[in-house]
Amino acid sequence: MALIIRPALPSDVPQILAFIRALAVYEREPDAVLATEADLLEHGFGEAPYYTCLIAEQDGAPAGFALYFYDYSTWLGRPGLYLEDLFVFPEHRGAGIGKALLQRLAQIALEKGCARMKWEVLDWNSPAIDFYNAMGAEIQKEWLNVRLSGDALRRLADLGNVVETTEAP
């Protein structure tokens, strides 16, 4: 068995999109993926990338991926590694590939001086929750996620300017 975990290259973009689509099917949102190869190429491999990606290959075949970026803890005064997507194709599960990806992410987090790793899990995904608990992760039920998008985001932005502002950096 030859398992390799390596940073994604621009030529991996079609494969990354295939992983994202497969993950969306698993998360019961098969039609939610609007991202294109051009989006992923621009945002992950441009001058100021928004994300970084690892690819797991089993005997030369793409088996899984992890896509992440950095957040920041103002309490700890240190960056954190935020894991947006982690996925292993069903036919490659049970071989420790998900754990190997998480292990490599933990190493990268420590190398970069991060205080922690964070990610989200669906509340019905008991196998994943058990897996994360077993490695000592905390499920933080007190903190709820809030999202503002679409028309509500535009409405908020379009309120009459009641204050002076200067340009954002």
| 135 makes contact with a second copy (CB under 8 A) | yes
Does 139 bind a second copy (CB under 8 A)? Our answer is yes
Encoded one letter per residue, x for contact with a second copy by CB under 8 A and - for no contact, window 93-132 reads ---x---x-xxx-xxxxxx---xxxxxxxxxx----x--x
Q: Name residues contacting a second copy, limited to 61-100 (CB under 8 A).
A: 67, 69-79, 82, 84-85, 96, 100
Alpha-carbon separation of residue 85 from 21, 91, 169 (angstroms) = 11, 18, 29
DSSP-assigned states of every residue in 19-60: HHHHHHHHTT-TT-----HHHHHHHHHSSS-S-EEEEEEETT
| Residue 22 interacting with a second copy (CB under 8 A) | no
- The count of chain residues that interact with a second copy, using the rule CB under 8 A, is 94
Q: How far is the CB of 164 from a second copy (least distance, A)?
A: 5
Q: What is the nearest approach in angstroms of a second copy to the Cβ of residue 131?
A: 10
- Which residues does the annotation mark as catalytic? 132
Shortest CB 31 distance to a second copy, Å: 10
Q: How many CA atoms lie within 13 A of 89 on its CB side?
A: 14
54 and 104 Cβ atoms separated by less than 8 Å: yes
Work out how close the CB of 11 gets to a second copy at its nearest, in angstroms, rounded to a whole number: 14
Q: Identify whether the C-beta of residue 17 lies closer than 8 Å to the C-beta of residue 65.
A: no
Q: Please tell me what DSSP assigns to residue 59.
A: T
Give me the 23-52 binding string for a second copy, x by CB under 8 A, dash otherwise.
xx----x--xxxxx--xx--x------xxx
| Other residues' Cβ atoms within 10 Å of the Cβ of residue 96 | 13
